Structure 1
Amino acid sequence: MSHARQQAGMSLIELMIAVAIGLALLAGLSSLYVSTSKARTEFNKTSEQVENGRFALQSITRDIEMAGFYGRTSPTLATSGYALSDPCAAAPASMGFSTTPTLTVPLPVYGPALAATVPSCLATTLPNMRAGAEVLTVSYASGSVTATPSGTEYYLQRSGCETDSVSLVYSNTASAFTLHNKAAVAGGTCSTSTSAELRKYVERSYYVATCDVCSGTGADTTPTLKMAEFVNGAIQVSSLVTGIEDVHYSYGIDVDNNGSPDCYVDNPSDTSAVPPACATAVAAASYAWTASATANWANVTAVRVNLLSRNLDNTASWTDTRTYDLGRAAVNGPYGDHYKRHVYGTVARVWNTGGVRENQ
């Protein structure tokens, strides 16, 4: 009898208590799993947004730092040696290249959307540009030397010999590149056997569009940083980074010619009056701010870049009530939607303008 009692199974009450404890543990584990999954999802969204913001900033900064490089023999030009060019043009003269009566090249950095006369091609060449978006155009020669012209790309050739008839050739025709370097001999004499190096011309315009894929199947409304690049004699537009909602540029102007920016302004093209931020520096250096927009742009030695990056996917439990300061008089936001955002900023030096002045 005693043995039979010892072999008895669980009672119904004990079984129900065990099931209840098990269900409670299962509910806790399920809640933990859901919470962890949500946290990981938000982490992935934020990581992607951080990566996009930093990559966009890095891409723009790299091009600003290359701007104004027109070959290893690039001269130190006066501001009159730069042209306020059309960033959508393909003809050399319209792009800012000329050797008559004096050498001129395109401005290293330029905000065409801020000019008094905005190039008409922007409306068609930069499709789906966000209303009010700023455009930054950079120009330079590639850091890599080209052995043989492609016949379609445009190249720069800078003379290294004083006996050449011109100091620069800009063309896409192989036969046009007839300039020379000095021979690697004692005294360095010019020789027809030492052709000057060729470098591909690079011109890129950055702007924010209202979409990544803007037409056809898969069209979206994702704000995107796009790049319009001069390739094979025409402007080609490509998406660079998705989730970039806005970019603001402030331009550091060197008014005393020492290479360092003396003040930052939003629009060097505005020559109607001296900007308050530059009033003291301009007066001290007797700088003629109102005389020439081209000269103001040519004296840009740094660019302050602030951009607003947004998560690509929304968060239902989040409402964006924040404001974001990109350096303008008015802040961005609050947006009141369910996307998380962050501002990224840096200062990029225009080394081929400011660096040369520092060494004079």
Structure 2
Amino acid sequence: MTRSSTPRQQGFSLVELMIAMVLGLLLMAGVLQTFLSSKQTYSTNNALARVQESGRFAMEFLTNDIRNAGYKGECISALNNLLNENGSGYSADLYDLNQPITGKTGESPSWVTNRTAGDVIHIKYAANIPGVSASGNTTANANAIVLNAASGVAQDAIIIVADPKGCDIFQNRSNANASALSRGNGGKPGNKNSAKNNFSHAYDSSMEVLRLESASYYIGNGVKGLPSLRRISFTSGAKFDEELVEGVEDMQILYGIAGSDRQVDSYVSASSVSNWDNVVSVRVHLLLASTDTNVVPENQIIKFNGKDVTIQNRRLAQVFSTTIGIRNRLP
């Protein structure tokens, strides 16, 4: 009989284990580097997409209002003002549609109290009210305009009525469920005495019933404490301040001044406009920055308004620019 011996089992040596660990660490480092690079790329692309989306929204708000500045329906004559010019809160800057666009360079008008940067622009125009139409004729000395159905127009909204013969502005004192728009007493700024102040002329049922849009755009802090594009509206007579688009750091407004041929000769800041009737276009520059931090390798330096602006906390920034013609003043 022969005796067979089983060989002893042997594991990895210490050197082999160390080599395996080093190779594993190198592999993990490569995977981690790929993950971090992908995460950074995703964060940058996401921040860029949000900045571009915010820029488009901001420009859309501004473009729509600037383009329509001064619109008052079919009316081609001066607006007859039936608002109480001595009433609380009345200001020609807010309610006189005969001067539809004004602005401030690096400062605020009296009604803007929390501007943090940039210029301020104020725009006025008459906007359509869907589904609201007059029923029958309205005499010049009428106290109310009778409608075909409940108006849906809030009490104290500023109303403009117009046709090719003329146009009038007053404050609605009827409730939204009333089938009439009245120019009675009360409200801010309120109406002139209707017994002593008539409409500019008698209207028939084809009259346009419009709502005054009167709003200031400016840069101020939003609900999260970040710079935002904000709007103060006086459509209902009272001041209504709202945040529109967050991440808007600065805004520069330039105004196109036209000569006798109604062609733009130059673009100037609000402080250099001597006659607002000569403004036929507006050039808007917005500086936007991402709300997310650490999305670019280092702080960006952006050229804006002739200066180098450093964007802190490694946020992504972009400048948006557009030129908008005022339709009612173009040749």
- Aligned position for 1:351: 327
Please tell me whether the aligned partners of residues 300 and 315 of structure 2 are also in contact (alpha carbons under 8 angstroms).
Answer: no
1:109 to 98, 101, 108: 101
- Aligned position for 1:137: 122
Letter in 2 for 1:304: R
Identical aligned residues as a percent: 25
Q: Any stretches of 5+ residues in structure 1 without a counterpart?
A: 98-104, 182-189, 214-218, 272-292
* Alpha-carbon offset, residue 208 of structure 1: 0.6
Q: Which has the higher mean CA deviation after the structures are superposed, 35-44 or 18-27?
A: 18-27
2:211 to 182, 186, 200: 200
- After TM superposition, the score normalised by the length of structure 1 is 0.67
- Within 2, Cα distance between the matches of 1:94 and 1:322? 37
Please tell me whether the aligned partners of residues 48 and 311 of structure 1 are also in contact (alpha carbons under 8 angstroms).
Answer: yes
**C-alpha spacing 1:304/1:54, structure 2 compared with 1 (3 Å):** same
Give deviations 1:191-247, integer Å, cap 9, x for gaps: 74x1512111111110011x212xxxxx63x11111111142111111111111111
Once the two structures are superposed, the pairs formed by residues 60-75 of structure 1 within 5 Å of their partners are 60-71=62-73, 73-75=74-76
Return the structure number with greater strand share.
2
Once the two structures are superposed, the pairs formed by residues 4-19 of structure 1 within 5 Å of their partners are 11-12=12-13, 17-19=19-21
- Aligned position for 1:155: 159
- Within 2, Cα distance between the matches of 1:352 and 1:301? 8
Please tell me whether the aligned partners of residues 138 and 204 of structure 1 are also in contact (alpha carbons under 8 angstroms).
Answer: yes
**C-alpha spacing 1:241/1:343, structure 2 compared with 1 (3 Å):** same
Residue 175, structure 1, aligned to residue 182, structure 2: yes
**C-alpha spacing 1:31/1:94, structure 2 compared with 1 (3 Å):** closer
**C-alpha spacing 1:169/1:253, structure 2 compared with 1 (3 Å):** same
Structure number with greater Rg is: 2
Aligned residues: 284
- Aligned position for 1:266: 269
Please tell me whether the aligned partners of residues 156 and 201 of structure 1 are also in contact (alpha carbons under 8 angstroms).
Answer: yes
- Within 2, Cα distance between the matches of 1:110 and 1:94? 8
Residue 255, structure 1, aligned to residue 259, structure 2: yes
Please tell me whether the aligned partners of residues 146 and 199 of structure 1 are also in contact (alpha carbons under 8 angstroms).
Answer: no
- Within 2, Cα distance between the matches of 1:254 and 1:316? 43
- Within 2, Cα distance between the matches of 1:323 and 1:93? 38
* Alpha-carbon offset, residue 127 of structure 1: 3.3
**C-alpha spacing 1:8/1:228, structure 2 compared with 1 (3 Å):** same
Residue 34, structure 1, aligned to residue 10, structure 2: no
- Within 1, Cα distance between the matches of 2:200 and 2:207? 4
- Aligned position for 1:288: none
Please tell me whether the aligned partners of residues 135 and 205 of structure 1 are also in contact (alpha carbons under 8 angstroms).
Answer: yes
* Alpha-carbon offset, residue 349 of structure 1: 0.8
- After TM superposition, the score normalised by the length of structure 2 is 0.72
- Within 2, Cα distance between the matches of 1:93 and 1:20? 78
- Within 2, Cα distance between the matches of 1:93 and 1:37? 54
Please tell me whether the aligned partners of residues 100 and 125 of structure 2 are also in contact (alpha carbons under 8 angstroms).
Answer: yes
Please tell me whether the aligned partners of residues 323 and 332 of structure 1 are also in contact (alpha carbons under 8 angstroms).
Answer: yes
Q: Any stretches of 5+ residues in structure 2 without a counterpart?
A: 133-150, 174-180, 185-197
Letter in 2 for 1:302: S
**C-alpha spacing 1:138/1:319, structure 2 compared with 1 (3 Å):** same
- Within 1, Cα distance between the matches of 2:199 and 2:259? 35
- Within 1, Cα distance between the matches of 2:322 and 2:257? 16
* Alpha-carbon offset, residue 76 of structure 1: 6.3
The 3-state SS of whatever aligns with 2:119 is: coil
The 3-state SS of whatever aligns with 2:234 is: strand
- Aligned position for 1:127: 113
